Amino acid sequence: MLKIWSMQQDANADAAAGTKKKKVTAAQLRIQKDLSELALPSTMKTDFPDPDDTLNFTLTIEPDEGMYKGGRFHFTFAIPQSFPHEAPKVKCTQKIYHPNIDLDGNVCLNILREDWKPVLNLQAVIIGLQFLFLEPNASDPLNKEAAEDLRSNREGFKRNVRSAMGGGSVKHQTFERVLKT
Amino acid sequence: MSQPVMVASTLQAPTVPDSRWIYLDNVRQKKGPFTDEESFDASGEAVSAMEKMKLLVIGAGGLGCEILKDLALSGFKDIHVIDMDTIDVSNLNRQFLFRQSDVGKSKAEVAARFVEKRVKGVSITPHNCKIQDKDDEFYMQFNIVICGLDSIEARRWINSTLVDLVDNENPESLKPLIDGGTEGFKGQSRVIFPTMTSCIECQLDMHAPRAAVPLCTLATIPRQPEHCIEWAHIMAWEQEKPFPKLDNDDPEHITWLYKKALARAQEFNISGVTYSLTQGVVKNIIPAIASTNAIIAASCCNEAFKIATSTNPSLGFEENYMMYSGNDSIYTYTFKHEKKDDCPVCGNIARNMEIDPNFTLEEFIESLAARPEAQLKKPSIRSEQKTIYMQSPESLELKTRPNLVKKMGELVEDGEEIGVSDPSLGSVNFKYRLRFSKPFKSH
Ligand SMILES: [Zn+2]
């Protein structure tokens, strides 16, 4: 009995040899599914600098309503190999004036950190990001000054958003021009 | 060295080499109330079959030390152990196969030598490398694989490797996977029959993701020393980039984070930031409890023994997951975790598919629609290296469209695996291992 097993084993070992590391990883497979199910509104676009690497890409958001209307915002997405156990790492590549995004591009979005769950998908993250531009909120501040402005003086905050988006300064901080036109 | 042994004069004293196994043999050679009559073999042949089994232990750390010792004392004779780590002085409190003089040496090698010396007749082969460095042929030689790991990545890798090894034509290709894990006073042991029962990927939701504090708390209102350290780790480092890449094992890098965190803690009147806490938070170290490791390792080795001998029913086909908690007194709960049909690893085993490498990608995609198991209308396809074709999003479709006119032989190698997804399938993915039916003519 054992003899036959070991013979079979040898034959199989030959077949298995050379197949090392040519397997699609679980993270790749899952992100492929998430990407093929993405349903993006016309205000958002993805771009893949290296199409073979679907774990790293950029997202552009062009809000068509709200205080950030007329802007074009870029984010990088880095999907870890541990995805979906761990959330995608998302950063804004521009220096913008936003209560939930700091000057280095870190984003405070609950589902990117404390509320991430493996059942969430890329679509949920992207919709969450878009929501930040429609409804910036002062209660989860990453940029304390902007949050304070939003809380205390909504109209002043709106003016600050417009001037920052145009490449102007708000309280000695100069921002990047992010207007589409 | 002789020890006085008390034996009744009428009984024959057991000979020294066998005395260690006398109680074990009672279990291995006598039927018990739970023994499965069909698979249990009480003859000495069963014992020698067990002794011929080859086991692989993954990890020679806190759990691994316990597992190696337990397996050797359970009567297994041929054990391999794989671990890429070297011994650190902080391991010595619980990784009891290591001594002060071993610091800096390979964990796998030192552990193997120690157990071989203490348990005569056992052979332990160390592999001082990453599990990813070994190929399918290496894993094929084992009968049972036991994991004592602290990383989810490594577990997922070995899980998918063992699932992919399964070949229905060859019963030996099915390697029971026994996985132990501990976190402080909590732990679990589980048994997986790859492709047949719920796998590690199916059970991914059982690992609570690392508890995270909202970024805005870190940025604006830190309340605990850990918040200051996380802030230094996530935000200050990114902003100042004092070194090109953060290396958690570089004391200079940890010192930088420690000083940043300390300054921030002072600013917010928070006490408790220390160097070792910084190291612990950055490396996500959960204090290891030696007794938890001992209990979980014992459970894992008990399962290995039962699988190898059929003396008692093992975890696996019915209940497959035992969780243990020592936080408030002691509690264990054993249950059946169901296999997921849409599991990306075991829910779709790579099927072999013969293709003509001279077909274009477009022709290949059309042929997928005709396959009864798939009936893919809008398939997206990738290999490990390449995004071959994506139907969406638009930007990827545009970039991969030129591939449609290329021949399959240009896009994949003979024997390469592809992943196929299709929104119409919901959550199911397909994997195919492509075999060329003809030689590929590139022109
Ligand atoms: Zn599974």
- Whether B69 and B177 map to the same domain: the answer is yes
* Within a domain: B344: no
The pLDDT mean for chain B works out to: 89
* Within a domain: A1: no
For the stretch B210-259, pLDDT in tens is 778 888 889 888 999 999 999 999 889 988 999 998 988 899 999 999 99
> Domains in chain A: how many in total?
1
pLDDT for residue B428 is more than 70: no
Which pLDDT value is given to residue B243? 92
Instruction: Say yes or no: B170 contacts chain A, CB-CB below 8 A.
Output: yes
Q: Determine the Cα–Cα distance for residues B325 and A59; give it in Å rounded to an integer.
A: 43
* Within a domain: A151: yes
Q: Domain holding B227: CATH number?
A: 1.10.10.520
* Within a domain: A13: no
For the stretch B105-123, pLDDT in tens is 999 999 999 999 999 999 9
8 A C-beta contact, residue B253 and residue B262: no
pLDDT > 70 in chain B, percent = 93
- Whether B108 and B187 map to the same domain: the answer is yes
Residues B46/B65/B312/B142 CA torsion (nearest 10 deg): -50
Boundary of a domain, candidates B335, B369, B401:
B335
A92 is catalytic: no
Q: Among A21, A22, A57, A150, pick the best mutation site for testing chain B contact (most B Cβ within 10 A).
A: A22
pLDDT for residue A4 is more than 80: no
- Whether B313 and B174 map to the same domain: the answer is yes
Boundary of a domain, candidates B282, B300, B317:
B282
- Whether B220 and B203 map to the same domain: the answer is no
- Whether B201 and B330 map to the same domain: the answer is yes
- Whether B199 and B143 map to the same domain: the answer is yes
Which pLDDT value is given to residue B251? 92
Q: Determine the Cα–Cα distance for residues B392 and A27; give it in Å rounded to an integer.
A: 18
> Domains in chain B: how many in total?
3
Does the distance separating the beta carbons of A23 and B160 come in below 8 Å?
A: yes
For the stretch B40-54, pLDDT in tens is 887 777 788 889 999
Residues B33/B34/B39/B45 CA torsion (nearest 10 deg): -60
The domain of B407 spans: 351-436
Boundary of a domain, candidates B282, B298, B319:
B282
* Within a domain: A164: yes
- Whether B219 and B309 map to the same domain: the answer is no
Task: Return the residue of A nearest to B213 by Cα.
Answer: A114
> For residue B351, how far is its CA from the centre of ligand 1 (angstroms)?
16
* Within a domain: A119: yes
8 A C-beta contact, residue B321 and residue B334: yes
Pick the more confident residue, B284 or B78. Answer: B78
Three-class SS of residue A169?
Answer: strand
Chain B residues with beta carbon closer than 8 angstroms to that of A141: 216, 219-220
Q: Domain holding B135: CATH number?
A: 3.40.50.720
| Torsion region of A170: left, alpha or beta (phi above 0 gives left; psi -120 to 50 gives alpha) | beta
- Candidate from A21, A46, A82 with C-beta closest to B395: A46
* Within a domain: A49: yes
The average pLDDT across A77-95 equals 93
Which pLDDT value is given to residue B168? 80
pLDDT for residue A97 is more than 70: yes
Q: Domain holding B379: CATH number?
A: 3.10.290.20
The domain of A152 spans: 31-174
Instruction: Say yes or no: A177 contacts chain B, CB-CB below 8 A.
Output: no
- Whether B196 and B258 map to the same domain: the answer is no
Q: Domain holding A39: CATH number?
A: 3.10.110.10
Terminal Cα-to-Cα distance of chain A (whole angstroms): 77
Out of B171-180, B208-217, B323-332, least confident range: B208-217
Chain B residues with beta carbon closer than 8 angstroms to that of A84: 204
- Summarize chain A as % helix, strand, coil (round to 5): 35, 20, 50
- Whether B357 and B396 map to the same domain: the answer is yes
- Whether B302 and B378 map to the same domain: the answer is no
* Within a domain: A20: no
Please spell the DSSP secondary structure of A20-82, one letter per residue: TT-S--HHHHHHHHHHHT----TTEEEE-SSTT-TTEEEEEE--SSSTTTTB-EEEEEE--TT
Which pLDDT value is given to residue B374? 64
- Whether B147 and B233 map to the same domain: the answer is no
Backbone angles phi, psi at A64, to 5 degrees: -105, 10
* Within a domain: A67: yes
Three-class SS of residue A136?
Answer: coil
- Whether B250 and B327 map to the same domain: the answer is no
* Within a domain: B7: no
